[in-house]
Every structure is written in structure tokens, then in C-alpha cells.
Amino acid sequence: MTARDAHPSPAGTEAERRVAGVAWEALAGTGPGLGPELAEVLAGGAAERAVTRALRARPALDAAGRAAVAEAIFGVGLWRRRLRAQLGDPLAPPALLLAALVRDLGGREAGRAEALAGLPPGALPPPRPPPAARADRFSLPGWLDAELDAAAGPEADALAAALCLPGPVALRANRLRTSPEALAARLGAEGVRTRPGALAPACLVVEGPRPNVYGLRAWQDGLLEVQDEGSQLLGEAVGARAGEAVLDACAGAGGKTLLLASAVGPAGRVHAADPDAGRLVRLRTRALAAGAAGIVAVHGAAAPADLRVDRVLVDAPCSELGALRRGPDLRWRIDPAAFEALPALQARILERAAAHVRTGGRLVYATCTFRRAEDEEVAGAFERVHPEFERIAPEAPASALTPDGFLRTWPHRHGTDAFFAAAWVRRG
């Protein structure tokens, strides 16, 4: 074997080993035609849309070919910085990046990688060792590398590696209609193997191949929702009980709203508000399918000013860095300049929501990010001007609670997206 055909041994992290395990040989005949889709992603286009178009343009591909095309587009989109570093070429064209992906992370010989990418022999430069710097090795924009360092400190490398893996498929049993145990049996009969979640009581995590969840009869019968286990844990942290009144002040399309509805049951009420009217329309549809239409009251952008409830959830708009696993190219499409305005917005929403908490009630502030400026700092600022709200530890497993009594989940620790929550009780 010549020097140019040498390739690295299986890489160290799970994310790197995953790329080596892709069936890259199924790219034969398709790699050369992926240039436009790869260029679109590298220019800032969404990788998911590029994959959809690429597959529609190739209807004759078998399942292996379709998977390889998706992995190629997502892989170049995610690993671009590392590939350029190992090529020693910051301006490497898309086809060369694909060849480097297949050789340097995929572990294939240089000649084979060039052929699969539609390049002539010798197009790839000699291989280089994996880069040592975290931003290069895990393909991070500089600003994100700094955020990981600030948030995770000595665990930043482990967090970076976890953010390069796709998140698992987590399901929530709709306890208005079934139990987690019954749902697991039902899914098993449909060929979907699951295990119980480690943190949230209604969670099932899919094991094995990723199923078409929306084609399952269990989904069509309203028995489940697709929801990250960390997100489920946030809903559980509200501590809603049967018969209570709850406000979901930033309901969105309603994943946590429906969880809260299953907790309060038919005798309770969940009020949902969100400035995005389109998402509230989807919430109505989902509530009907889940058997929660009689429990969920959908308002507009804000709840009525005189509404007082037992519990309020503020799942605030945030930088969403905790969900970076959900889109391999998201890190390259985020503008960190937009983060500066978020804490003030979050504080305003939290302030308004607090007015709806009756004496003895609970207020929960939550985000899907690990930035302290949007998490602990917003919570601390709220406490300083609202001594009537006493911080309590959210209802969650000890492994997800910080020494300060906040809830935090991490991809590298818990296998979930990264979430934060603070909880308070309103004293008289």
C-alpha cells in the first residue's frame, strides 16, 4: 500500500466511528452528481432540504444508496472544518471534501474515496493525522468552540463529540390513552424495539433502525409523541397534578402542552399561548389527535391578564444550542450575533408569566441551551427582583440536578438534548 492509499485506523469517538461504519460503497455512481447539493449546503443552505431534493432527483436508488447520499450531504455539511484542516485546503471544492470524508473519516483507501466522489486518481493530497484542536477535530465554528468551553469546561471535548452524533428517537407515551409498558408492547408488535428512558417516566427510546414513526398505527391512534427525553423531563419538572390549572406560556406546536394535559387529566385545564399563530393551529390538531382537546385551552399570543393558575411553564425562546444534534449543519447556519438580545427577551417573558402564578403555585423557566447568560443569569436576575418566588429543585432525577438546584441535561452525560430549568414557588 502506498502512502497516498493509507488511511487512519478506526477513530476514537463514537461520532468518528459512526462515519467509518457508513456503507460508503453505495455511493458508487451517485457521488459525482452530488456537487450542486453539497455546494448549496456549504453556501448556507439547509442540509435536510438538500437531501430531500437529492433523493427526489434519484428515484431509482435503493435503500443503501439513499442512505449513502444522505450521509454524504449531512457528513460534508457537519465535518467541513475538519475535512478542510486534514486536506490543508480552506477552499477545497465540494467533491474533494466528499472524498476526504470517505477517506479520512470513513476509513476507505484514497483511490476508492476518489472514485466514489467522482474524482480522478491522485486528486486527494497525502493524508494527514486527525487535527488536535477541538474546533478542527469536531468541526466547530470558533464561536461555538468558545461556548462549549464556557459551558462545559473540562467536559467540553466530550460535549463536542456528542454534538456530532444524531440524537436518538425518543417517544412519549400519551398517558391519556396508554401506558409506557402498553405502548412498548404495541410498538414491538409493529416491529419497533424500544427501551424505557432513564430520566422521564413516560419515555421510550427506539433501539435499532430509525422507524418511520408517522407510519405506525400507534402514532395514528394518538398513543405517542416524538419528543426528546430532556424535553419530556422539562414537562415533568412542572409537577402538574390531576385537576390542576396550568399555563404553557410559550407553547409552540404543543409538545410540552400535551404532556401537561396528560398530567392534569380530564378534570384539569392547560392554557396555551404563543405569538406564532400557525404553531397554535398545529397544537389544536395535535390536541384533538391526542384526546386532549377538552383539556387544552388555546389562547393567542398571551394568556388573559386575569388568568391565575397553579403552575406556569415558560419554555422561552433561546439560542437552541442544546438541540444541535438535530441538524448536522445547524452550527454553520446560526448567527451568534442574535444571542445578545435573548436574555432581555427571556426576562420580559418570564416577568409577564410570573403574574399568572397564584400564591403557592409553581413557576418553571426553561431553555434548550447551555449558555449561562440565557439560563442561570436570567434566573438569578429574576430572583433578585422577585423575593416572593423561592427557588426549589425541580422534580427530576438527581443526576439531572445541579448543586444550585437547577435542572440540566447534557448530550454527553444523559444522551438527551441540552436543557435547563429553574423552578420557584410563589410564597404569600
Buried (b) or exposed (e) across 167-181, using 16+ Cβ within 10 A? bbbbbbbbbbbbebe
Q: Give the span between the Cα atoms of 318 and 345, in whole angstroms.
A: 9
Name the helix (H) or strand (E) containing 286.
helix 277-289
> Phi-psi bin for 419: left (phi > 0), alpha (psi -120 to 50), beta?
beta
Closest alpha carbon to 325 in 230, 416, 229: 416
The DSSP call for residue 295 is: T
164 is catalytic: no
Among candidate residues 164, 250, 318, 368, the one labeled active-site is 368
Rounded CA-CA distance 87/81 in Å is 10
Whether 259 and 232 have beta carbons less than 8 Å apart is answered as yes
| Euclidean distance between CA atoms 130 and 137, whole angstroms | 7
The residues that bridge with 173 in the sheet, in sequence order, are 224
d(CA 364, CA 40): 40
Question: 75, 120, 106, 118: which is closest to 7 by C-alpha?
Answer: 106
Q: What is the DSSP string of 167-216?
A: PP-EEEE-TTT--HHHHHHHHHHTT-EEEE-SS-TTEEEEESSPP-GGGS
24-27 contacts at long range (C-beta below 8 A, 24 or more positions apart): 24/68, 24/71, 24/102, 24/106, 24/108, 24/113, 24/116, 25/68, 25/112, 25/116, 26/62, 26/64, 26/65, 26/67, 26/68, 27/65, 27/68, 27/69, 27/72, 27/102, 27/116, 27/117
On whether the CB atoms of residues 287 and 255 are closer than 8 A, the answer is no
Q: Would you state the cell numbers that stand for residue 210, as one nine-digit string?
A: 430509525
* Amino acid making up residue 120: P
Nearest to 289 by CA among 243, 253, 242: 253
State the cell numbers at 234.
422539562
The residues assigned a catalytic role are 368
